[in-house]
Structure 1
Amino acid sequence: MNYYDSTNSIIDELSKSLNNINDEEVVNLFNEIQKADKVFFVGVGRVLLSLKSVAKRLAHLGVKTYIVGQVTEPAITKDDLLIVGSGSGESAFPLTIAKKAKQYGANVAHIGANKECSMQTYSDVFIKIPVSTKLQLPQEISSVQPMTSLFEQSLLLLGDTLALMMVKDQNIDMTELWEHHANLE
């Protein structure tokens, strides 16, 4: 397989994935982000890497974002939102953190591929990315890519979509966003 064939396969998969995410679920997450004082993110592995990119982009838009476990992480409160990325909804660390966040009254949003999971117990909002996971559930969008790459890519692009929605909703001047960009580079 050559580069262009591989690229086109990935783009086709992403298009299917993103076009099958429920708009109402995304709007619910968007509203939760807008009303939260602080937004925390938790995931593991490549999912965490995608979430870190989403957190950074939202920080550029003025949202107070934190990655669970970072050294400057503040306390979570009832005014905050925890966004959990977990395709299966069964990953142990995110489950433990979601349970803890609920104990402090925070809202929890789960972005995953499987609504019928242990994370459902703690989630106020669920956004389904309907792609293949390690669980291999029926009606998932299959992928030619290794492991759960399509989930991680879709998660990142969902985050960028939320950021663009925020820019449009708040009529943000894109040139002013550079004021929030890291400058110790």
Structure 2
Amino acid sequence: MRPVAVREIYSSPKPGCPIFATVSSSLRWDIRARANRLPSAIRKSSSDKVLLMRPPAAPQNLKRRILKDALRKNEQRDDAFRRIIRSVPKGKVSTYGKVAAAAGYPLYHRAVAKLLRSATVHGLPWQRIVGAGGEIKLRGEAAAEQRLRLSMEGVKFRGKRVNMEIYEHTLRSWETFD
């Protein structure tokens, strides 16, 4: 089926309304043949205009959700990070780099930190993820809160760092998760 050369397009400003396309006269026979194969609701009586139907307009909130999901390129990666973070048990910690490596993204430790900084961490045990060597990378009140939460879970500190020899959780590979 060869493409149809469209000369002009007339469109309604309202979503869900039909679009009319005016084509060159040499293609009228081809358009008529195609129009005869279309259902009668779509056919147009004029031989030089073809009715093209738009899909019905979606509700505004659905459009926003679709656009938001389309803009979210790394959703699969972030889901893998979330799964690994949830697997760290109480009283244990892991590092940003180990979480990224266990999720299958060994060089993405900064992406793990960015995910934990974002507003989508509801329900994640964010306090169990620390920097390399057990250092709390957060600053100010957030660092104090993370230290308090970890000590409430029974994690002991050696100076400003978590004792990783005792409290580091060994993560399973990303391949073992469903």
Q: Same fold (TM over 0.5)?
A: no
TM-score normalised by the chain length of structure 1: 0.26
TM-score normalised by the chain length of structure 2: 0.27
Which structure exhibits the higher relative contact order, with contacts defined as CA atoms closer than 8 Å and separated by 6 or more residues? 1
Task: Give the number of the structure whose alpha-carbon radius of gyration is greater.
Answer: 2
